[in-house]
Amino acid sequence: MTIVLLGYMASGKSSVSKLLGKELKLPVIDLDIYIEEKEERSIREIFELEGEIYFRMKEHQYLKEILEVKNDAIISLGGGTPCYANNMNLIHEYTQHTFYLQTSIPEIINRVKDEKSQRPLISAIADEDLPEFIGKHLFERNTFYQQAAHVVFTDKKNITELVEEIKGTLN
């Protein structure tokens, strides 16, 4: 079984995938880490040196590579992955176990406020502009995120609760 977790930054994809993988005894593939290992540089460096179009092409290529192996796994996507190169159609060719970890704007801001410098997308955004920026971004991406087979609301839930909710959907 292949399970794909998607959602905006700070929605919990990486944390949930690790615990879910442990509980289901499945390997976890974080697409961003996979890309960094394959490209031998950070996502930030890829964006700075090659640009977003190059990154999105590579992101699609590596996602396809992972899915074509057809090994059971939990795949944690980057926040923008579902929105480019028909990636959601590609994912649905391989699995219907797709989960959108939906998080509210205030909760996202609460989760990222102390780690802005590590998040290239928002590192240069002033704190007071974050709600508008994130809201606009979520609005643009929502059409893609909503293509997931399941929506899991993450606000006011810990990682264990989210994993249990996902596992309950798989039975």
The model's pLDDT over 40-63, given as tens digits with 9 standing for 90+, comes to 999 989 988 999 899 999 999 999
Rounded to 10 deg, the angle between the 105-112 and 130-145 helix axes is 120
Nearest CA-CA partner of 32 in 73, 74, 75, 64: 75
Domain count for the chain: 1
The model's pLDDT over 105-114, given as tens digits with 9 standing for 90+, comes to: 999 999 998 8
Report the C-alpha gap between 122 and 29 in whole angstroms.
24
Q: How far is 33 from 47, CA to CA, in rounded Å?
A: 14
156: domain CATH number? Answer: 3.40.50.300
Q: Give the per-residue SS3 of the chain.
A: CEEEEECCCCCCHHHHHHHHHHHHCCCEEEHHHHHHHHHCCCHHHHHHHHCHHHHHHHHHHHHHHHHHHCCCEEEECCCCHHHCCCHHHHHHHHCCCEEEEECCHHHHHHHHCCCHHHCCCCCCCCHHHHHHHHHHHHHHHHHHHCCCCEEEECCCCCHHHHHHHHHHHHC
pLDDT value at residue 108: 96
Q: Among residues 152, 155, 154, 111, which one has the least CA distance to residue 130?
A: 111
pLDDT in tens, the chain (171 residues): 999 999 999 999 999 999 999 999 999 999 999 999 999 999 989 988 999 899 999 999 999 999 999 889 999 999 999 999 999 999 999 999 999 999 999 999 999 988 887 787 888 899 999 999 999 999 999 999 999 999 999 999 999 999 999 999 996
Range of the domain at 100: 2-170
Model pTM above 0.85: yes
